[in-house]
Amino acid sequence: MNKSEMNKMGQMDQSKKDQDKDMSNMDMSNMDMDMGGGQMMHMGNLKRKFWVSLILTLPILLMSPMMGMQLPFQLIFHPWSDYLVALIGTVIFIYGGQPFFSGAKAELKNKKPAMMTLIAMGIGVAFVYSIYAVVANNIMHATPQVTDFFWELATLIDIMLLGHWIEMNTVMNAGSAVDNLAKLLPSTAHKLVNGETQDVAIADLVKDDHIQVRAGEKIPADGVIVSGNTSVNEAMVTGEARLVEKQTDAKVVGGSVNGEGTFEMRVTGTGETGYLAQVMKLVTDAQAAKSSQENMADRVAGLLFYAALTVSIVAFIVWLLVGNLALALSIAVTVLVIACPHALGLAIPLVVARSTAIAASHGLLIRNRDAMEQVKKLNYALMDKTGTLTAGNFKVAEYQSLEPQVKADDVLKIMASLENGSSHPLAVGILKAAKAKKLTAAEVTDSHQITGVGLSGTVAGQTYQIVSAAYLDRQKLAYDQATFNRLASAGNSVSFLVQDQQVLGYVAQGDQIKPESKNLIDSLKAQKITPVMLTGDNEQSAQVVAKQLGITEVHASLLPEDKAKLVQKYQADGSRVMMIGDGVNDAPSLARADIGVAIGSGTDVAIDSADIVLVKSNPNDVVEFLELARQTTRKMTQNLWWGAGYNVITIPLAAGILAPIGFILNPMVGAVVMSLSTVIVAINAMTLRLRK
């Protein structure tokens, strides 16, 4: 599926808006479809092929015998009606059947006959036998006359083209739902040229352009602030419902909303390089991926190919022995024609397309569709605390010095200096407290993160670290444990300032549990999925949150690698594990889990490691994902039964298994039943809903 033209950012000018009024027309001209084996079919061509083939089918229906009866138009054009039908049927076969033969060629080249091969075999045999029938009836004057399959050939091609068009429209709607993310961007930007601002379309922005963003405006592209300070609401992009302080050299994301300040920025990402483009690429990748059940459908089609071929040959031999060549050939051909698997071919793609559309409209970006099939076997839901179950809106509750020569405000000032420019929730809380105290951050050099511990940097020639209590315990550094226990048992996260292996002071910050978190935990328990908290925070703080939410299994003071090991531990007995985290420190465990869910993360790490990204950062979206996954899997199974069941029943009937009691499936009846099966599969897929 190639949707690069649809996913390009920066096309929100008037022409794009006009195109949006007729989304289907735009998609018809821009979308491609995988017809099997990597063969791409242009969406506009597919639509045109269907309509041309359908129009050409009408005279075939009027001039072909139906259920053994001659229609008036056949009598009117006699004796040329058979030749006209053959001529029109040939055009339909070559023009309308081309994409299926291209797909079959690719499948056979890969030595994996599947859906397209089975379709091509059905229409190919129908065409060849029908031409033979025309020659036998009109030139050789065969007695009795040989029945042709032009009626079945034309309707089969029409139905298959229509089905693939419906499928593409459904997938297109899924993409359109996610393309609404592009509307987060404004239509114009204030570009700085020779010190003056010029309003330009964002499609005209290029990397390293300098633009001005005014108070209250949406930021038009990803970039770095070069002048000015502000606060930015990134909720529409990352799901974090809070203002993030931004200063010079801070990164900003296109689509987020500027606060009260005006700033100038240098553009670093436009078009397909911006964050929103990365998000939309997730859906494109997901649509191109195949789940295991889709592969199963291809495998079933491959088996049907061999089964139909075998049954056809056996039926031919049997009927040749008990009947005659004409009868044996007719039954063998009927078996191959009826084996055409259109309903089976649509069984999975239609459900997946519908599911993708629903997911996108609910802010569920499904990166790995296989994850949906794991839900029915899910045993454990492991989840991070900060930013996942809690809002990540930290507020300094208390800060103190633990050394007489260091003032409490100095502790806060040094920690704020080290955290300056960071968007981590704990850092934001410290920076806000320092700002409220009017403490000016000092210059920091050699600043760097210490994975799973905190950070380090040099202030005024002295090196400091911000660390957790767990780090102090591992390093056997002395600190006031009574004070720590008091603060932690109240639900605070406590960070310590360390210099030369000496603890100088601490900052305690409280967080708030997200209102939706309790519902998530209750829903998981109701589904017999055990919730487990994994956090790098201290044990006391973790237990406070866990107790309020009803979580009994808690693992605290963890490093990123500890979380990944715990995921493996829970998987050791064959259990299926879902990991829910912020997509940064939780990246190893997200990748390790059977289902990795990133909440409210706009980082490359989340995109690369998670199977599902929840844009709105709402824990309840996990519940919606679980429900949607179950509904999707149920519909897939139902459609596979409908699609494969048709073939399993009709192939033996067409071969004459009930001939001893006087029943052989008429090709016309088989075509009608096949059409009905296709309609049932399509309707069943469209009834997929996300129940509240």
Using CB atoms within 10 Å of the CB of residue 336, give its burial: 0 to 12 exposed, 13 to 18 middle, 19+ buried: buried
Q: How are the residues of the chain apportioned to helix, strand and coil, as percentages rounded to the nearest 5? A: 55, 20, 30
Q: What is the CA radius of gyration of the chain?
A: 33
In terms of DSSP H, where are the helices of 144-204? 150-179
The closest alpha carbon to 96, from 126, 65, 76, belongs to 126
Kindly list the distances between the CA atom of residue 365 and the CA atoms of 169, 205, 413, 566, 591, in Å, as whole numbers in the listed order. Answer: 19, 27, 40, 26, 16
Contact 393, 424 (CB under 8 A): no
From the CB of residue 143, how many other CB atoms can be counted at a distance below 10 Å?
A: 9
DSSP 80-131: THHHHHHHHHHHHHHHHSHHHHHHHHHHHHTT---HHHHHHHHHHHHHHHHH
Catalytic choice (158, 384, 537, 586)? 384
Token duo for residue 476: 């056997």
| CA 352/CA 356 separation, integer angstroms | 6
C-alpha–C-alpha distance, residues 411 and 616, integer Å: 35
Q: How far is CA 675 from CA 445, 494, 639, 669, 672, in A?
A: 72, 66, 14, 10, 5
| Contact (CB, 8 A) for 131 and 150 | no
Task: Give the residues across from 555 on adjacent strands.
Answer: 534
Alpha-carbon gap, residue 187 to 202, rounded angstroms? 6
Three-state secondary structure call for residue 31? coil
Alpha helices per DSSP H over 248-406: 275-288, 292-322, 325-338, 342-361, 370-374
- Secondary structure (DSSP) of 517-555: HHHHHHHHHHTT-EEEEE-SS-HHHHHHHHHHHT--EEE
Work out the burial of residue 661: count CB atoms within 10 Å of its CB; fewer than 13 is exposed, 13-18 middle, 19 or more buried.
Answer: exposed
Among 170, 182, 422, which Cα is nearest to 278's?
182
DSSP code of residue 604: H
249 is catalytic: no
Mention every residue, 6+ apart, whose C-beta is less than 8 A from residue 449. Answer: 455
CA distance from start to end of the chain:
31
User: Tokens 């300094």, residue?
Assistant: 396
Nearest CA to 251 out of 277, 226, 215 is that of 226
Q: Residues with catalytic annotation?
A: 384
